[in-house]
Amino acid sequence: MLWSLLFFSLIAPFNTESIQLNGTETSQSSIYEDDNTLKYTSDRAIDGDVKICTNTKQQMNSWWRIDLMGVYRISSIEIFNKASVHSVINGCEIYIGYSPELNRTADLKFETIENFATDIWNTFKGNGNVSGRYITVIYPKEEPLVLCEVKINGTKEESPFVLIQENKTWEEALSHCRAQNMDLASILDANTQTLVGLEAMKATTDFVWLGLGHICILDFWFWVNDHCLTFEYWAPESGTDVCDVSAAMEKNWEHHWHKKNADQQLNFICAK
Ligand SMILES: [Ca+2]
């Protein structure tokens, strides 16, 4: 009994939560195809089989990426490659970030892979916990990127945002949130932009109202909870600052903001 208590107390600090990767989306820079026309696609890195691997073509800056479909605080990333040609991936860089674009300047480098060993799990802990939605492995050499299995450990960040699947004008949406002791969502940084975007994906309308209103006479944009407009994510063609507009986030892809007539009836996002 004492030994088992001692054993569990010893392993407890290392018992980080393994992130379930079903429901995530993977992609990679290119797909290698062998002589039997077998495609070494990106999902093979998370299929649970260490003998089945992804493989890109031999190109400069090959990459593999996973969209965790949530914001996670990442504590470690584990990679297993069986011994074969191109399976030692020293020099690969692991990035974590919020941008759906491949953007290494916006993403934070988690670790550069060194001393990689085949046929065992290699664990990378980076420089402490880093949060993000996307994890990217980039090989800054003219090499194919091979990954047999990837495991990611961390904890999911609870979202304070909730999508309301009802169609309302901007004013009605604001009243609805406030009647339930919430407010229309404010976005202050890349982290909250990502959390709101994940809610927007569930919408039944192409756009969702945000808590970003416009005072026409002053041409002034304001968050309904009085925060300053320090972070902006307008679409390149977001519309003009005419009167009677408020900001709505697009449901799909990059979740850019658009200026929409405030009388339009859209789903909306409240903040708890
Ligand atoms: Ca695999």
**Position 6 pLDDT exceeds 70:** no
Please tell me the distance between residue 45's alpha carbon and the centre of ligand 1 in angstroms. Answer: 4
Task: Read off the pLDDT band of 16 (50, 70, 90).
Answer: low
Please tell me the distance between residue 49's alpha carbon and the centre of ligand 1 in angstroms. Answer: 4
Task: Please report the pLDDT score of residue 254 as a whole number.
Answer: 87
- Cα separation of 200 and 196, whole Å? 6
Please tell me the distance between residue 44's alpha carbon and the centre of ligand 1 in angstroms. Answer: 5
Q: What is the 3-state secondary structure (H, E, C) of the chain?
A: CHHHHHHHHHHHHHCCCECCCCCCEEEECCCCECCCCCECCHHHHHCCCCCCCEECCCEEEEEEEEEEEEEEEEEEEEEECCCCCCCCCCCCEEEEECCCCCCCCCCEEEEECCCCCCCCEEEECCCCCEEEEEEEEEEEEEECCEECEEEEEEEECCCCEEEEEEEECHHHHHHHHHHCCCEECCCCCHHHHHHHHHHHCCCCCCEEECCEEEEHHHCEEEECCCCCCCCCCECCCCCCCCCCEEEEEECCCCCCEEEEECCCCEEEEEEC
Task: Please report the pLDDT score of residue 239 as a whole number.
Answer: 73
Task: Please report the pLDDT score of residue 8 as a whole number.
Answer: 45
Report residue 44 CA to chain centroid gap: 20
Please tell me the distance between residue 80's alpha carbon and the centre of ligand 1 in angstroms. Answer: 9
Residues 140 and 91 sit within 8 Å (Cβ to Cβ)? yes
Cβ-count burial 247-270 (b if 16+ within 10 Å, e if not): bbbbbeeebbbbbbebebebbbbb
Please tell me the distance between residue 121's alpha carbon and the centre of ligand 1 in angstroms. Answer: 13
Average pLDDT across the chain, whole number? 91
Cα atoms found within 13 Å of the Cα of residue 131, Cβ hemisphere only? 13
Task: Please report the pLDDT score of residue 104 as a whole number.
Answer: 73
- Cα separation of 158 and 192, whole Å? 11
Please tell me the distance between residue 56's alpha carbon and the centre of ligand 1 in angstroms. Answer: 14
Please tell me the distance between residue 32's alpha carbon and the centre of ligand 1 in angstroms. Answer: 15
Provide mean pLDDT across the span 90-105.
88
Please tell me the distance between residue 16's alpha carbon and the centre of ligand 1 in angstroms. Answer: 21
pTM, entire model: 0.85
- Cα separation of 88 and 82, whole Å? 9
Task: Please report the pLDDT score of residue 9 as a whole number.
Answer: 44
Please tell me the distance between residue 243's alpha carbon and the centre of ligand 1 in angstroms. Answer: 54
Ordered by where they begin, the domains of the chain are: 16-156 (2.60.120.260), 161-271 (3.10.100.10)
Categorise residue 75: left if φ over 0, alpha if ψ from -120 to 50, beta otherwise. alpha
Please tell me the distance between residue 118's alpha carbon and the centre of ligand 1 in angstroms. Answer: 14
Give the residue from 75, 86, 200, 104 showing the smallest Cα distance to 148: 86
Residues 265 and 165 sit within 8 Å (Cβ to Cβ)? no
**Position 13 pLDDT exceeds 50:** no
What are 2's two structure tokens?
A: 């004492």
Please tell me the distance between residue 252's alpha carbon and the centre of ligand 1 in angstroms. Answer: 29
Please tell me the distance between residue 109's alpha carbon and the centre of ligand 1 in angstroms. Answer: 24
